[in-house]
C-alpha cells in the first residue's frame, strides 16, 4: 500500500482518536460539575443539621461524602490516565492539570462539610440564641451561594470567574466576622467547649467559600492561561 493510499485511513483514525479524546475531556468536565454539586448538596445538609440541631441528619452527611470520595477517586484516575495516554498540549493540557487542582478543592470542601457535622455530633447539638443562629444562617447562605456560583462558573468555563468570585468572597468574610463577634458575646452562655466547636465550624464554612474562589481562579487559568491574582500586585495567595 502506498503512502497516498494510506492517507485517508490515517486521517480517519486520527479523527476517531481526537473524537475519543474530546469525549474523555467532556466526561471529566461533567464529572467535576457533578462532584461539585454533590459537595454543595451535602454542605446544605450539614447546614440544616447545624441550624436545627438535626443530629439525625449527621449520618446522612457521612454517607453522602462517600459518594463524593468515590467520584474523586474515579475522576483522578481518569485525568491521570488521559495525561499518560494522550500526551495533550496547550489548552487541553491546562484543562487536565487544572482538573487535578479542582478535584482537590472539591474534595477538601466535602471534608469540611463533614467536619461541620462531626462538630455537631461531638457537642450533641448546640444551644444558640436567635441572634447567633441568624448569623450562622447568614454565613451558611453566603458560603453556599458562593460555592453555587463556583459550580456555575465550572459548568460554563467562565473566564471571568476568578476575579468575580474573589470580590464576592468579601461578603462571606464579613458574615464570618459577624458570627465570631456574636459568638464571643454569647460564649459564657454557650460554654467554652461549645464556643470552641462553633468557632471551628465558622472557619470550616469560610474555607468552603475560599475553595470555591480557588476553583474559580483555576477556571480562569484554564481558559486564559493566567491566574487572576498575577495581574493584581495587591492580592495574596489563599492558603491551601
- Tens digit of pLDDT for each residue in 66-116? 999 999 999 999 999 999 887 777 889 999 999 999 999 999 999 999 999
- pLDDT of 19 reads 77
Reported as a single tens digit per residue, the pLDDT across 177-197 is: 999 999 999 999 999 999 999
Question: What span, in angstroms and rounded, lies between the C-alpha atoms of 32 and 34?
Answer: 5
Q: CB burial class (10 A; 0-12, 13-18, 19+) of residue 166? A: buried
Kindly report the number of other CB atoms within 10 A of residue 141's CB atom.
Answer: 14
Percentage of residues of the chain with pLDDT beyond 90: 79
Largest CA distance in the chain: 87
Of 192, 191, 49, 190, which is closest to residue 116 (Cα–Cα)? 49
- With cut-offs at 50, 70 and 90, classify the pLDDT of residue 14: low
Query: Over 70: is that where the pLDDT of 2 sits?
Result: no
Reported as a single tens digit per residue, the pLDDT across 214-224 is: 999 999 999 99
Percentage of residues of the chain with pLDDT beyond 70: 88
Q: CB burial class (10 A; 0-12, 13-18, 19+) of residue 224? A: middle
- Whether 179 and 139 have beta carbons less than 8 Å apart is answered as yes
b or e along 54-79 (b: 16 or more beta carbons within 10 Å of the residue's beta carbon)?
A: beebbebbeebbeebeebbeebeebb
Q: What is the mean pLDDT of residues 229-235?
A: 51
Question: What span, in angstroms and rounded, lies between the C-alpha atoms of 79 and 219?
Answer: 16
Domain ranges of the chain: 8-231
Identify the residue with better confidence: 225 or 13. 225
Question: What span, in angstroms and rounded, lies between the C-alpha atoms of 216 and 163?
Answer: 8
pTM here is 0.88
Give the torsion through C-alpha atoms of 52, 58, 59, 64, to 10 deg. 100
- pLDDT of 145 reads 98
Reported as a single tens digit per residue, the pLDDT across 134-180 is: 999 999 999 999 999 999 999 999 999 999 999 999 999 999 999 99
- Please give the CATH superfamily to which domain 8-231 belongs: Phosphate transport system protein phou homolog 2; domain 2 (1.20.58.220)
Query: Over 60: is that where the pLDDT of 237 sits?
Result: no
Amino acid at each position: 500500500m502506498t503512502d497516498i493510499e494510506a492517507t485517508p485511513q490515517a486521517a480517519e483514525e486520527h479523527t476517531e482518536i481526537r473524537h475519543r479524546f474530546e469525549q474523555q475531556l467532556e466526561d471529566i468536565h461533567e464529572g467535576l460539575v457533578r462532584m461539585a454539586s454533590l459537595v454543595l448538596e451535602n454542605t446544605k445538609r450539614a447546614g440544616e443539621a447545624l441550624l436545627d440541631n438535626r443530629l439525625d441528619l449527621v449520618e446522612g452527611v457521612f454517607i453522602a461524602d462517600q459518594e463524593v470520595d468515590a467520584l474523586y477517586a474515579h475522576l483522578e484516575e481518569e485525568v491521570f490516565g488521559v495525561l499518560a495516554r494522550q500526551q495533550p498540549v496547550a489548552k487541553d493540557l491546562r484543562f487536565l492539570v487544572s482538573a487535578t487542582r479542582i478535584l482537590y478543592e472539591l474534595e477538601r470542601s466535602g471534608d469540611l462539610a463533614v467536619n461541620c457535622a462531626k462538630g455537631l455530633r461531638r457537642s450533641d447539638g448546640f444551644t444558640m440564641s436567635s441572634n447567633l443562629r441568624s448569623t450562622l444562617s447568614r454565613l451558611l447562605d453566603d458560603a453556599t451561594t458562593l460555592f453555587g456560583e463556583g459550580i456555575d462558573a465550572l459548568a460554563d468555563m467562565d473566564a471571568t470567574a476568578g476575579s468575580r468570585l474573589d470580590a464576592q468572597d468579601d461578603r462571606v468574610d464579613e458574615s464570618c466576622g459577624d458570627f465570631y463577634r456574636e459568638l464571643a458575646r454569647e460564649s459564657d452562655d454557650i460554654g467554652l467547649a461549645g464556643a470552641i466547636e462553633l468557632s471551628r465550624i465558622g472557619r470550616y464554612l469560610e474555607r468552603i467559600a475560599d475553595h470555591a474562589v480557588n476553583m474559580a481562579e483555576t477556571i480562569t487559568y484554564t481558559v486564559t492561561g493566567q491566574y487572576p491574582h498575577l495581574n493584581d500586585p495587591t492580592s495574596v495567595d489563599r492558603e491551601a
